[in-house]
């Protein structure tokens, strides 16, 4: 008999619970502001994890693939911060690969500034290492004012500052250049 009473009262308690939730639910939209890295609340902030960004060319082919462990968008500055970033630009003569511990995407220009152990592959046998690098996907220009270490096959170059064009495959170290050429 006792089991029967509990079975009969269960729907009643569920109805009472539903009524209480309905009566106490806010009648206006609840502010879902995010909290930034410094504990500040800003309206419109967004944060995501396991980010995958794809950009396609006019023919519908995948042109750029970017992944990140996390992203945080600040609408006030129109910038997006990313962590553990990997960028792949698909090209017929070999893909451009860039990675860094952090990145900042300037939403208006779409420029990407990577920093923290930045590594890149310009061609299948050419690599670069630096601490900070700016990449403009529209023009294909890479820039850095930090020390840069380049390899091409077994040859190496190091210097301070970099200007490189992904489209023309031109690379310039700006000053204090040293290197070794190995045929």
For the chain, which domains are there? 42-180 (2.60.450.10)
Question: Could you tell me the CA-to-CA distances from 103 to 39, 77, 81, 183 in Å, in that order?
Answer: 21, 15, 6, 35
Q: What are phi and psi of 44, to 5 degrees?
A: 95, -5
Model confidence pLDDT, tens digit, residues 89-138: 988 878 899 999 999 988 777 889 999 999 999 888 899 999 999 999 88
Check if the beta carbon of residue 47 is closer than 8 Å to that of residue 68.
no
Max Cα distance, the chain (Å): 93
Q: For residues 102 and 49, give the distance between their C-alpha atoms in angstroms, rounded to a whole number.
A: 14
pTM metric for this prediction? 0.71
Q: What are phi and psi of 9, to 5 degrees?
A: -80, -20
**What pLDDT shows up at residue 85?**
94
More confident residue, 104 or 42: 104
More confident residue, 43 or 80: 80
**What pLDDT shows up at residue 30?**
46
More confident residue, 34 or 32: 34
The total of other beta-carbon atoms located within 10 Å of residue 142's CB is: 24
């Amino acid at each position: 008999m006792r089991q029967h009473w509990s079975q009969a009262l269960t729907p009643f308690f569920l109805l009472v619970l539903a009524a209480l939730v309905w009566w106490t639910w806010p009648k206006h939209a609840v502010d879902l502001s995010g909290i930034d890295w410094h504990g500040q609340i800003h309206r419109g902030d967004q944060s995501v994890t396991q980010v995958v960004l794809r950009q396609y060319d006019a023919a519908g082919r995948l042109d750029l693939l970017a992944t990140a462990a996390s992203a945080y968008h600040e609408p006030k500055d129109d910038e997006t911060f990313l962590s553990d970033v990997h960028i792949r630009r698909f090209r017929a003569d070999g893909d451009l690969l860039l990675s860094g511990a952090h990145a900042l995407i300037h939403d208006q220009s779409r420029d990407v500034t990577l920093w923290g152990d930045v590594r890149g592959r310009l061609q299948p046998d050419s690599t670069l290492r630096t601490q900070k690098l700016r990449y403009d996907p529209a023009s294909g220009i890479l820039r850095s004012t930090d020390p840069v270490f380049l390899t091409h096959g077994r040859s190496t170059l190091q210097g301070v500052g970099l200007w490189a064009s992904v489209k023309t495959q031109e690379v310039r170290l700006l000053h204090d250049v040293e290197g070794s050429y190995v045929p």
